Amino acid sequence: MVLFEMRGVVVAALLLLAYPICKIIYNLYFHPLAKVPGPRIWAATRLPYIRALIQGTIVHDFEKLHQVYGPVIRIAPDEVTFAQGEAYNDIFRIRQGHRQFLKDPIWWSRQPGQPNSILSAIEPESHARIRKILAPAFTTRALKAQEPLVQKYVNLLIERMHDKAAEAKNGQNGVEFDIGPWFNFTTFDIFGELGFGESFDCLQNSRYHPWIALLFNSVKAASFISATKFFPLVTFLLMKCIPESLKKMQKDHFQQIVDKVDRRLSWELDRPDFMSHVIKADGGTKMPMGEVYATFMVMTTAGSETTATTLSGTMNHLVAQPDILAKLTEEVRSAFMSESEMNLEALQGLQYLNAVLREGLRLCPPVPWMLPRVVPPGGDTVCGTWLPGGTTVSIQAYTLNRDPSYFHSATTFTPERWLPEASTNPKSPYFRDQRSAVQPFSVGPRECIGQHLAWAELRLILARLVWAFDFEAAGEKKLKWEELRTFLLVEKKPIDVRIKRRSE
C-alpha cells in the first residue's frame, strides 16, 4: 500500500516536472510563433520578460534585442513586439476589412468591482461612450477658453524661478538646482485647476502635494501587479499578501480624488474646465459617478506626468547643447516684445520651438513603449507578419525613434530634422528621415485625447522659461536619459541646471 502511494507521488512529481518541459519544447518548436525571430530563452518562457519588467530595464532590453534580431521580435511565448513605423497603422488604427485590436486585459482590465475609466474600458462601445463625453473638453476651442487657467500657473512657475534666481549670492553666476520637480509642480497644478477647479498647490508651496508624492510608487506597483497577472495563481497569492496598510494607502489615494471631484461638483460656477463637460444641465453627470472618479484619477497621471517628462528630457538635452539652447532662446526673445504677448496662438508659429519639442518627444518619449493590444480572433497581419488570434502585440517607440535606418544621426538631439527645410531640400542630411514614424501620442480611436493641451503646455512653459532666464548645465553632472528605468512611465532622476535672469 505504502509502495503504491509512493509511486503515485513520484508519478505526480514527474508529471509536474514534465509539464513545463513539454511546454517549453512546444513554445520553441511547435508554437505558431516559432518562426518569428527573437532570443530562444524569451520565446521559451515568460520569465525573462517579467524579470526585465520588474527591474525597469524592459525598454532598453528590447532595444538591444531589436538591434540583434531586427524590427519584429518574439519577446514571450505568445507576444511579439515591433520597432516599425507601419505597426502604428496596423495595431492602433481600425483598418478597413479588419477587426479592431483591443487593449490587452493583462495591462488594462480594472480591478474586480471597480468602475471603468477611459483608460481601462476595453470594449470599444464603453470606451467610445466615455470618450464622446470627454472629447468636447479637449478641442482647440475648449483650449482657448482654458488658456487663462493655464497661463495662471505658468506665471506662478516664472515667479518661483525668479525667487530661485534671486537666491544667487553676490558674485555667484546663477543658482544650481534640480528643475525636474518644477515641471511636475506646474503640470499637476494645471491639471488640478482644469480637472477639479483647485490646483494641487505645488507651485504655491514649492513642494509636491502628498497625492503626487505617492503617485510614482502606485504606477510602479501597477507595473508589478501586471507582471504577476501572467501567472493567475501568483496574482491571487500576491493580492492576499498585500499589507492592510498598503491597501489603506491605495484607498486613501483614490479617496482624495473622489473628494476633489465631489467638491468640484458641488459648485454652481460656470467654468471652462473639463468637469463642465461632464455635468448635465440638471446638475447630474453624463456618466456614472464611479466612472467619473476612475477617469479623473487616471487622467490626473496621464495628463501631468507625461508632459512633465517631455519637458525634463528636452531641458536635459538643451543644457547639454548650448548652441541649440542659444538658437531657441534667440527665436523666442526676438519674437515678442514682452511676456504678456506670449499666448498659445502666437507660440504655435515658432518653428524652432516646435522642432525642439518634437525632438524632445522623439528621444525622450514619456510613453516609451506603446502598451500591448491583442490580435483579434482568427488572426491578422502586422507589418506583413501573420499572427494567430490572441497574440499580444506592442510597439517599441523608444527603439523605433532611435533607429538609424529611420533617422540620420539617430541618437543625437537635432531639432533641425523637424524644420521645413529638412523635408523639402534633398541636400539636407535629414531629408530621408522618416518623421511620421514618431507618434508620441499614438494614433487611432485611443490616441491621446489631451494632445492639444499637452502641446500648449509644452510650448508655453519652455518658451516662457527661456524668455526670462539663461540656462546652463550644472557642473559636471549630466543625466543620461538612456539610463533611466521604465515602469509603465519613465522613472526620472534629477535634471540639474544653473539658472540666472536673462542678461540683457
Q: State the minimum distance, in angstroms, from the CB of residue 6 to ligand HEM.
A: 53
Count of positions on this chain that bind ligand HEM (CB under 6 A): 23
**Interface pick for ligand HEM out of 157, 302, 315, 495 (rule CB under 6 A):** 302
Find the shortest distance in angstroms from Cβ 394 to ligand HEM.
9
Report the site for ligand HEM in 125-184 (rule: CB under 6 A).
131
Pairing of strands 392-395, 79-82: parallel
Residue by residue, DSSP assigns 58-100 as HHHHHHHHHHHH-SEEEEETTEEEE--THHIIIIIS--TTSPP
Q: Which of 402, 430, 195 is nearest to 293 (CA)?
A: 195
Q: Figure out which of the listed residues 149, 219, 320, 371 binds ligand HEM, where binding follows CB under 6 A.
A: 371
| One character per residue 102-121, x = contact with ligand HEM (rule: CB under 6 A) | ----------------xx--
**Residue 440: CB minimum distance to ligand HEM, A:** 4
Q: How far is CA 425 from the centre of its chain?
A: 33
Class of residue 100 by CB neighbours under 10 A (exposed 0-12, middle 13-18, buried 19+): middle
Residue 367 near ligand HEM by CB under 6 A? yes
Q: Which residues, other chains included, contact 65 with Cβ-Cβ below 8 Å and sequence gap of 6+?
A: 38, 39, 42, 73, 75
Smallest gap from residue 193 Cβ to ligand HEM (A): 11
Question: Which one, 27 or 354, has the nearer CB to ligand HEM?
Answer: 354
With contacts defined by CB under 6 A, name the span among 13-21, 321-329, 411-419, 445-453 that binds ligand HEM.
445-453
Residues 6+ apart with CB under 8 A from 494: 178, 180, 477, 479
* Residue number with the smallest Cβ distance to ligand HEM: 450
Q: Applying CB under 6 A, which of residues 307, 316, 414, 486 lies at the interface with ligand HEM? A: 307
Closest CA to 277 of 290, 260, 264: 264
**Closer residue to ligand HEM, CB minimum distance, 31 or 362:** 362
**Can you read off the three cell numbers belonging to residue 321?**
547643447
For position 296 contacting ligand HEM by CB under 6 A, the verdict is no
Rounded CA gap, 58 and 49, in Å? 7
Instruction: Note whether 400 binds ligand HEM by CB under 6 A.
Output: no
* DSSP codes of every residue in 418-439: GSHHHHH-TTSTTTT--GGG--
Binding site residues, ligand HEM, CB under 6 A: 118-119, 131, 191, 299, 302-303, 306-307, 310, 366-367, 370-371, 440-442, 446, 448-450, 453-454
